[in-house]
A and B are shown apart, each in its own frame.
Chain A
Amino acid sequence: MKANKESLGQKLKRCIKGLLLTAVGVQIVLGLIWLGGSFGSTQFFSVSMDYVQAAENLTFHEYSGILYVLLTAAALWLQQITGISYYQPLYIIQVAVFLWAAYFFVCCMKRSGGTKGKLTAIFGALFLCTVPMLMQCHLAVRPQSLVVSVFLVMLGLCKRAADNVAEINGKLWIVMGTLWMVLSLLLPEYLYLGAVPVTGLLVLSFLKKGKILKSGCLVLLVFLVVTCMLNAAVLKPAADRIERKFESAMISRLVWPWFNQSYYFWPEEIKAVMSPGQALLIDADAEAVQRDFGPMVEQAYGKERALQLYAQMAKASLEVRTKDVLHEIWEDLKAYICTPLGVYGQLRGAEQISYSGWNYKNMSEQCPQITRPYVFCGFGLWFAEIFCFAGVVVRRLLLWKKEGESDKEKTHSHAFFWIAGLCVLSQAVWYTMSGAGMMDYLNVPVITVLWYALPIYLIFTPQRGRDID
């Protein structure tokens, strides 16, 4: 008896599988080579140096958070005792934690057991770990690697809960509360950003299983209060930087880089401490707002009056330069919402101010020959993913249209994708509005990991009742 002939869709699926697995394999190999070559040195970010300084003096401020300073302090102590460079234990912890978190996340997404399931999860974890923009985080003295690891676990739990309502129980709330607290202690802004998956889970719980909602709210409230109390008790304003408030974020976002051009519109008190020449210098460097302008004004007028002046300047800038401001915000927002596409364009010379060139330089410092193939292989893989994903989506839509309503079964829990989408949007908006017009992909590893993980998941996950075609 002859075997059934393969359909065109099945042949395409096999082709896509070969295409993507090859790209992932190449990325993993290049990533491991880059890891080996860069393990013995540190990437010189100024924020890394800030963490080392904070760790040496055990000072915790509103930009640094608590946990990562403690971790760096422990690494410095280990260096004193053993002579091992402080960044190497940090790298090991960051890579190991991410691998575990990614393994957990893939297991939650795939839910297939057995040896094959485990191997898929390991392969998936290696794939996500070696995404170049994420690998750079793992080998940097900054908290973003641990942040994305914790966030991945939270998202994995959200997926499990979305797929199976029985997973929503007291234990889940305690775990989510703990993870949220850990995130907030790593980076203070994750008190708000971490609330997105938590809130998503609460809404899911409300829609699917009303009574568990009360206990969930209670547990999360406890963690929230404890976190806020800890942060309030331990974190101090940064001595050498602008106070971290809404008004100072608006100064960076709405006024830079037009300090000099809009000088005429500034309050007299500002003009008294900042000459046009100084304004020009501030315009030249985005971080000068935080490090030079803010401290200068706060020293002259005190923090409270300084905040009022920032608000006046931000309002004036928005009124006078509405089109420019909105254009810059839009450009940054686009790049943050889709980091692989945004960063690829920036490294190819797109007209956008960003940290991408500098980050790339740091990445290539120890492995100049391997960095370019590695980074652009990562982009190539992503483009291939998106292309294949688009093809799969089109085919599914055509099949759905052809076969009608009865086959419109929800294979994936849409709730999870809503939560993931809101996480992407909230982080993109946060970092767009709090930055001084210089997009930095290292701030949003969560967005990057989702852009790599979700399309490939959707390509290979079959619809119920039919194999993917």
Chain B
Amino acid sequence: MKEIIRLVCKKKYEILGAVLMLLLLGGLFWRGPKTDYEVLCLGDSIFGNVQNETSIPGLLKKETGLSVLNGGFGGMTLAQRNVERRGDIQEDCFSLVGISESLAAGDFSWQKGSMEEAVHLDYFPQTVSELETVSMDCVEIIVIEYGVNDYLNGLPLENKENPYDKYTFAGALRYVLEFLQDQYPDKQIVLCTPTYCWFPEENADCSRKNTGYGVLEDYVNLEKIIGQEYNVMVLDNYHESGIGNGNVSWQEYTEDGLHLNEAGRKLIAKRIAECIKSEGK
């Protein structure tokens, strides 16, 4: 013991330096205080492109009284797209696969490093900052809304040889659901299908326009099947929301045939809220 004390006294300046370095390293890793949210909304422009209280997450907060984080990234897909693994195509960092992995690791350096390269909107940096500091211990519900961009970009529906192929819609969805359930077994996951959409300038709609691997309904139906496989709540906004039913015109619930207007957002927010309340949260 005396020897140890003598050594410490002899090397006190070196030890001081070591302690300072460890403090500096600790400071580098500290990301600031965590923020508490009860509901985490991950999605595309349907969630993300409106960032105020009239967004779907904002309206959900009003309906449920829960704190809700809007983690939507407009234009992004559920599946990954960079099949050739090119470094100049970096949108995959904002895909649901990329966001889920970063959330679990607590590390959004990929998104930050790719921000300028990936096609991004003004609110992306702020959303990434918020996701980085969210306390996943407080989150009780994860609401996922993706799919329409996978359809619009003509991403493959699935790979029969590899059910977890992250470059297909089904494979990516299976991967993400399994991943999230493994990482957060106590969180409830609510899967929202895309809503019906129109293409007014083409005089077409999603039930007739095949983008390569099917119409939007094919993606929706696959999403429902996979949701059931993983025992998660699936909210079928395509068939059951009323958007796209019968004589409903695109102007009633959407701004441009695809993105929801305030009426459309209220409708979807209410549906999600009812789903959450029915699960007793």
Contact = CB atoms under 8 A, between A and B. Distances in A.
A74 B89 CA distance: 31
Contacts, number: 140
A46 B25 contact: no
B95 to A, nearest CB: 12
A356 interface: yes
Contacts of B105: 364, 368-369, 372
B192 to A, nearest CB: 27
A286 B88 contact: yes
A325 B122 CA distance: 23
Given A351-B116, A357-B90, A45 B85 contact: yes
B65 interface: no
B143 to A, nearest CB: 24
Contacts of B87: 45-46, 287, 355, 358-359, 438, 440
A178 interface: no
Contacts of A16: 17
B13 A11 contact: yes
Interface in A365-403: 368-369, 371-373, 375-377, 379-380, 383-384
B138 interface: no
Interface stretch (A77-85, A133-141, A241-249, A341-349): A341-349
B85 A46 contact: yes
B114 A357 contact: yes
A150 interface: no
A447 B147 CA distance: 44
A63 interface: no
Contact of B21 (A20, A349, A354, A358): A20
Contacts of A440: 87
Given A23-B21, A347-B109, A349-B125, A354 B16 contact: no
Contacts of B240: none
A58 interface: no
Interface string A14-52: 111111111100100000000000000000111001000
Contacts of A414: none
B184 to A, nearest CB: 16
A17, A22, A284, A358 pick with most chain B CB within 10 angstroms: A358
A372 B16 contact: no
Nearest to A373: B29
A421 to B, nearest CB: 28
Given A18-B16, A22-B18, A360 B113 contact: yes
Contacts of B25: 23, 26, 376-377, 380
A212 interface: no
Size class of the A contact interface (CB-based, 8 Å): 35 or more
Nearest to B118: A357
Given A14-B13, A19-B18, A349-B112, A438 B101 contact: no
SS of A interface (majority):
helix
Give the bracket for the number of chain B residues in contact with chain A: 35 or more
A45 B90 CA distance: 13
Given A20-B21, A357-B93, A14 B88 contact: no
A380 B117 contact: no
B110 A364 contact: yes
Contact of A384 (B24, B85, B111): B24
B9 interface: no
A15 B13 contact: yes
B13 A361 contact: no
Contacts of A287: 86-88
Contact of B84 (A46, A286, A369): A46
Contacts of A23: 21, 25
B22 interface: yes
Interface in B7-34: 11, 13-18, 20-22, 24-25, 28-29
Contacts of A49: 84-85
A195 interface: no
A352 B116 CA distance: 6
4 residue pairs, one from A and one from B, having the closest CB atoms = A357-B113, A18-B17, A357-B114, A18-B14
Given A14-B13, A18-B18, A371-B107, 10 more contacts: A15-B20, A18-B14, A20-B21, A46-B85, A351-B115, A354-B116, A355-B87, A357-B112, A360-B109, A372-B109
23 contacts: A12-B13, A15-B16, A17-B17, A18-B13, A19-B21, A20-B17, A20-B21, A44-B85, A286-B88, A346-B113, A347-B109, A354-B117, A358-B90, A360-B109, A360-B113, A361-B93, A364-B109, A368-B107, A372-B107, A376-B25, A377-B28, A383-B24, A384-B24
